[in-house]
Structure 1
C-alpha cells in the first residue's frame, strides 16, 4: 500500500491526524445529540419496545460517524481510499485477517476470564451487545440489521479511524511501529468506554493491529475486526 507522504495539512496538522480528531469529535457530538433527542421524545413511562428499531439504530449512529472523517479527508486531501488504506481485499489480507480475528476472540475471552477471576463477575461489565436482544422488540429484522452493522459497518468505520488515519498519521511523524501498535490499541480500548473491559479490549486491539502491521493494509484489520465481531453478532439471535 502506498502511504501518503505528501504531508497535506488541515489546520496545521497532517491531514490524517486532523481526520482522526474530526472523526472522534464527530463521534462524541453525535452521541450527545442522539442521546438528547431520544431522551426528549421518550418518557420514563414509555415502553422501550415501542422504540426498538430507532433505539438500535441510534446506538450505532455515532460509531458510523467515525469513518466519515477518514473517508472524506482521504478523498479530499489524500490519495484515495485504496492508496491510503488498501481497502481492496487481497488473498493475503484475507488469510491474515481471519487468523488475527480468531486470535482476537481467544485473547478477549482469556483476558475477560482473567478479569472476572480477579475482580469477580459483578465488577466486570457485560458487553453492551448482551442487552440488544431485549430491546429489539422481538423483531428479527432489527436483529439482522444490527448483526450486519456489527460485522460490516462497525469494523470498517473503527478501522478507518484507528488502523487507518491514526496509524498513517503516526507513521508520518516517524513514530516507531511498535509504539503505533500500542497507541492505536489503547485508543481502541478507550473509545469503547467500557472501563472494566479496557484490558481485554486493549489485548484485542493489539491483535487487530498486528493484522495491519503484518499486511501493511487496513483491509486486513477490517477483516480481523469483522471476524472478531461475528460470533457476538450470531449470539444476538440466541437471546443470550
Structure 2
C-alpha cells in the first residue's frame, strides 16, 4: 500500500517501523548468538595472546554494526534509498549543526555524569565500556585502531540510521509532535546502550544529538553529532592503553 505522498505502508504503518523493529530484533539475536558461541568456546581463547583476545573483544561491536541493516534493507525494499529517505549525505550545514550538537552532547554527558557520581558515588556509576576495552589490549594497537574507527564512524552511522532515521521518520509520519519524537528517540537511544547507571546521562546526550536531527531534518547531522560525541572516548582508548 502506498500513500499519496509516496510513503509506503506495511501492515498499516509506515515501513520505517518494520525496519526499526527488524534492526532491533537482529541486534538482540546476534547478541544472543555471540554470547552463546563465546561462552561455549571461551576456553579456546588465551587472554594473554593479543591475536586471540583482539578479535574476541571486537565481536562485541558486531551487533551494534548490524543495527543499520534493518534501515538499509527497508529503504532498499520499500523506500527510495538511504540518501533520499534519511539525508545521509552531509552538507556543510549538517556539519555545522552536527559539531555544535556533538559538543553540547559532550558537555551534557559530562555534567550529568558528575551529578550521578555526586548522588550515587563513583563506585556505583560505571565507567564507559571503552575503558575496560583499552585495559584488555596489550602490546599492539591494531585492534584499538579498529575499535576507534567503529566507535567514531561505524556506531554513529548504524545507531543514527535506526533511532534518528527509521524510528524518527515513522513517528513523524504518524504526526507525533516533534518534541515527543525527540524524547522517545532519546529514551530508545539510552536504553539501547544497556548501561543502567549511565542511562540518565545517555538520555541527555541523546537529546543533544537528536537536536541535530531536529534542526537539520537530516540523519547526517545526527551522525556527525554522534561522532563528535564519541571522539574523546575513542581517543582515550589510546591514552588509557
TM (norm. structure 2) is 0.94
The aligned counterpart of 2:58 is 57
Quote the Cα distance in structure 2 between the aligned partners of 1:46 and 1:89. Answer: 42
Quote the Cα distance in structure 2 between the aligned partners of 1:218 and 1:5. Answer: 20
Unmatched 5+ stretches in structure 2:
none
The aligned counterpart of 1:88 is 89
RMSD: 1.5
The aligned counterpart of 1:136 is 137
When residues 18 and 49 of structure 1 are mapped into structure 2, their CA distance, relative to the original with a 3 A threshold, is farther
The aligned counterpart of 2:115 is 114
Quote the Cα distance in structure 2 between the aligned partners of 1:22 and 1:219. Answer: 21
Quote the Cα distance in structure 2 between the aligned partners of 1:170 and 1:113. Answer: 33
The aligned counterpart of 2:19 is 19
Alignment of 1:160-239 (within 5 A): 160-239=161-240
Unmatched 5+ stretches in structure 1:
none
Alignment of 1:25-64 (within 5 A): 25-43=25-43, 47-50=46-49, 51-64=52-65
Quote the Cα distance in structure 2 between the aligned partners of 1:198 and 1:237. Answer: 25
Does structure 2 conserve the Cα–Cα contact (< 8 Å) formed by 1:160 and 1:218?
yes
Does structure 2 conserve the Cα–Cα contact (< 8 Å) formed by 1:5 and 1:172?
no
Q: Helix, strand or coil for the counterpart of 2:122?
A: coil
TM (norm. structure 1) is 0.94
Quote the Cα distance in structure 2 between the aligned partners of 1:100 and 1:16. Answer: 25
Does structure 1 conserve the Cα–Cα contact (< 8 Å) formed by 2:55 and 2:143?
no
Quote the Cα distance in structure 2 between the aligned partners of 1:10 and 1:137. Answer: 49
